């Protein structure tokens, strides 16, 4: 396995059902990552240590997911200069998900977190790959193919719908 260049962290093991989608898309795009649990509230010193050493260990982007009072992405972003992508997770302690979205999104000036949609871990993985692809032409080509596959799927669905009619396309 090659050196991890994306770090995926989450506040709890209960976030893994969502955060695994970031790992899955990075697997598809052949981007090496490591994945672990770092809680801003339950393991604050572990969080500081992770953020302080992330760049030195070779990471280029951090994806951080958390639910409820989701402080992990913002706190990690306050410590490192690596880009941090925040994934708001709808968790057992979320009211409706807005709490996690706003905790991650509404950062003070000077400390950005690139926030994806609620439970949007797959997009976080794609965005991390796109950031890395700005200086990796092989990855950039894989992303071109990935985008093309999205386009192909829609065009296939559209032509099926146009040829069969919408009633048949429901089955």
Interacting residue ranges for ligand RP5, rule: CB under 6 A: 10-12, 14-15, 39, 41, 66-68, 89, 91-93
Checking DSSP bridges between strand 114-115 and strand 61-67, what pairing results, if any? unpaired
Q: CA–CA separation, 163 vs 171, rounded Å? A: 14
Residue nearest to ligand RP5 (CB): 11
What span, in angstroms and rounded, lies between the C-alpha atoms of 58 and 47? 17
Q: Which is nearer to ligand RP5, 22 or 133 (CB)?
A: 22
Task: Tell the residue number behind the tokens 């050196």, with chain if given.
Answer: 3
Question: What is the smallest separation between the CB atom of 142 and ligand RP5, expressed in angstroms?
Answer: 30
CB of 41 to ligand RP5, least distance (A): 6
Q: How far is the CB of 72 from ligand RP5 (least distance, A)?
A: 7
Burial of 45 (0-12, 13-18, 19+ CB in 10 A): exposed
Angle at 140 between CA 139 and CA 143, to 5 degrees: 90
Q: Toward ligand RP5, which CB reaches closer, 12 or 115?
A: 12
Of 15 and 21, which CB lies nearer to ligand RP5 in the complex structure? 15
**Beta carbon of residue 111, minimum distance to ligand RP5 (angstroms, whole number):** 19
């Amino acid at each position: 396995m090659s050196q991890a260049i994306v770090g995926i962290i989450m506040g709890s093991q209960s976030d893994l059902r969502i955060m695994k989608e970031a790992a899955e898309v990075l697997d598809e795009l052949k981007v090496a990552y490591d994945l672990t649990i770092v809680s801003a509230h339950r393991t604050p010193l572990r969080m500081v240590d992770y953020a302080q050493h992330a760049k030195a260990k070779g990471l280029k982007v951090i994806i951080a997911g958390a639910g409820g009072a989701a402080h992990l992405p913002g706190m990690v972003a306050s410590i490192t200069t690596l880009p941090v992508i925040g994934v708001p997770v709808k968790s057992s302690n979320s009211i409706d998900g807005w709490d996690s979205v706003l905790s991650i999104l509404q950062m003070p000036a000077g400390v950005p977190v690139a926030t994806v949609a609620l439970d949007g871990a797959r997009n976080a993985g794609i965005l991390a790959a796109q950031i890395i692809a700005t200086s990796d032409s092989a990855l950039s080509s894989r992303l071109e193919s990935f985008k093309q596959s999205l386009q192909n799927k829609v065009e296939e669905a559209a032509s099926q719908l146009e040829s069969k009619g919408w009633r048949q396309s429901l089955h």
